[in-house]
Homo-oligomer: A and B are copies of this chain.
């Protein structure tokens, strides 16, 4: 196995696992947030504007942790600096 193959394999496996594991927490957290939002709406329909606004801000915060994982996953697949280094090295050889 030459260096490029190893880098490619490591990038593929890590990219997949990063988003797979990283989606677990946000999905559960958002599920909980949405669930209580619905309970609150049923309990106090008059506060619907405040509840919806707070929910969206909260979802954005939680989603951001999933986005971090997605960004790292995309970087590893499409803009991997280590891969680029070896590509450049091979090309310059």
Contacts and interface: CB of A to CB of B under 8 A. Distances in A.
Interface of A: 1-48, 50-52, 54-59, 61-66, 68-70, 72-73, 75-78, 80-83, 85-87
How many copies the complex holds: the figure is: 14
The A contact surface, by secondary structure, is: helix
B64 A37 contact: no
A87 to B, nearest CB: 8
Contacts of A29: 27-32, 34
Contacts of A45: 44, 46-47, 50
Contact of A62 (B27, B44, B56): B27
Nearest to A45: B47
Q: Which residue, A7, A65, A72, has most C-beta atoms of chain B within 10 A?
A: A65
A3 B16 CA distance: 19
Contact of A61 (B11, B30, B46): B30
